[in-house]
Amino acid sequence: MGLGRQRDGLAPTPPMGWNSWNRFQTAIDERLVRETAEAMVESGMKDAGYRYVVIDDGWEAKARNAEGDLESDPDRFGSGIADLAGRVHALGLRFGIYTDAGTATCQGFPASLGNEARDARRFASWGVDYVKVDWCHTEGLRGRTQYPIWTEAFRSAGRPMVLSICEWGRDRPWEWGPTTGHLWRTCWDIQDSWASLIGVIDHQRGLGAHGGPDGWNDPDMLEVGNGGMTPDEYRAHFSLWCVLAAPLMAGNDVRAMTDEVRAILTAPEPIAVDQDPLGRQGDLVRAERSCEVWARELQGGGRAVVLFNRSPRSEEAVVRWTDLGWGPQDRARVRDLWERADRGTFTEAYSATVPTHGAVMLRLARPD
């Protein structure tokens, strides 16, 4: 686990919220953020646990102001960020923002290199609760030396703010992230396609030991509801994020989502796995043909299991108790979390038919 963890209690379970980037890129304004925050309440997202409303790249004015501070775009965020954060807070939600550790953001807006303490104070004065710090235009710098500057800047700014490290896994952030921030991206940007999802998932193996309370591996924000994948593919995406104890940052238009998308994003039993208080991240425990088994220990000794089918056909997948550290004779109750159905008590193994590009998500408990 590297240097140990910071335990400030800001992210005891993986952060949940919404971020503007995946759906809107830089086409954002204060109205979108206000409407999204309201929709999070009305749609049941807030009740399901989503808290942070985060604006990504594109909120900034083209230059710092005369005092040297970051400013919001005067046309698109004319009421100012403090006003916007206040409106989000009034709905019982938290507000997040974006900057970059280098000389410019990925979209070419002013970034924070050399201004970390100043910008952290600015964010704190606006009432910001969460800051994503990106890694474009950082030539010659290393994540493990730059991000601790932010840790310190947040401390001296005097407002608790979640630090979302976004350096794409370049400098093995799982080694130093736990002492530095609350979540860290493990790889490049996700796209709204099956091929991209597979590429991201293949980069999460073996990282399970590094995630835990107040410091989480971040395989990137959710694409659920953006239209490029099937409902089964989105359920697989969401299931894997939950077994990985990943931050759940919705990335769709929550003002206009279908009932099917809402049902995935607010599914209580998968979310309870993601937010399990033990905070143990899962990992790959078995791969057979095109089926994978990912598993995670839960509070109380149970297990969450995802049977994940990567093939273009439906497949029979099996989890063996020995994959989970249990003996073959142990009895375990099995519940299907998407179907919300108890399947009975089994010994040795459980198998299920998994749809193409889909997942079956289970909770296993040994009777007392």
CA-based radius of gyration for the chain: 21
> What is the nearest approach in angstroms of ligand GLA to the Cβ of residue 340?
33
Residue type, 8: D
| Binding letters toward ligand GLA, positions 220-239, x by CB under 6 A | --------------------
Closest chain position to ligand GLA (CB): 106
73 a catalytic residue: no
Applying CB under 6 A, among 18, 21, 126, 184 the residue interacting with ligand GLA is 21
283 binds ligand GLA (CB under 6 A): no
Choose the binding region for ligand GLA from 8-16, 102-110, 154-162, 228-236 (rule: CB under 6 A): 102-110
Applying CB under 6 A, among 107, 179, 191, 314 the residue interacting with ligand GLA is 107
Between 72 and 105, CB nearer to ligand GLA: 105
Between 21 and 154, CB nearer to ligand GLA: 21
One-letter-per-residue 3-state SS of the chain: CCCCCCCCCCCCCCCEEEECHHHHCCCCCHHHHHHHHHHHHHCCHHHHCCCEEECCCCCECCCCCCCCCCCECCCCCCCCHHHHHHHHHHCCCEEEEEEECCCECCCCCECCCCCHHHHHHHHHHHCCCEEEEECCCCCCCCHHHHHHHHHHHHHHHCCCCEEEECCCCCCCHHHHHHHCCCEEECCCCCCCCHHHHHHHHCCCCCCHHHCECCEEEECCCCCCCCCCCCHHHHHHHHHHHHHCCCCEEECCCHHHCCHHHHHHHCCHHHHHHHCCCCCCCCEEEEEECCEEEEEEECCCCCEEEEEEECCCCCEEEEEEHHHHCCCCCCEEEEEECCCCEEEEEEECEEEEEECCCEEEEEEEECCC
Applying CB under 6 A, among 93, 106, 285, 307 the residue interacting with ligand GLA is 106
Between 134 and 223, CB nearer to ligand GLA: 134
118-177: which residues touch ligand GLA (CB under 6 A)? 134, 166
CB atoms closer than 10 angstroms to residue 324: 20
Give the Cα separation of 72 and 62 in Å (integer).
Answer: 9
Catalytic member of 189, 232, 283, 330: 189
Size of the site for ligand GLA (CB under 6 A): 9
Choose the binding region for ligand GLA from 63-71, 82-90, 105-113, 324-332 (rule: CB under 6 A): 105-113
Tokens of 239: 């299931």
| Binding letters toward ligand GLA, positions 333-352, x by CB under 6 A | --------------------
189 binds ligand GLA (CB under 6 A): yes
342 a catalytic residue: no
> What is the nearest approach in angstroms of ligand GLA to the Cβ of residue 188?
7
Catalytic member of 29, 134, 253, 276: 134
> What is the nearest approach in angstroms of ligand GLA to the Cβ of residue 219?
12
> What is the nearest approach in angstroms of ligand GLA to the Cβ of residue 119?
16
Give the Cα separation of 330 and 72 in Å (integer).
Answer: 59
59 binds ligand GLA (CB under 6 A): no
Choose the binding region for ligand GLA from 77-85, 104-112, 122-130, 202-210 (rule: CB under 6 A): 104-112
Give the interface with ligand GLA as residue ranges (CB under 6 A): 21, 56-57, 105-107, 134, 166, 189
Active site residues: 134, 189
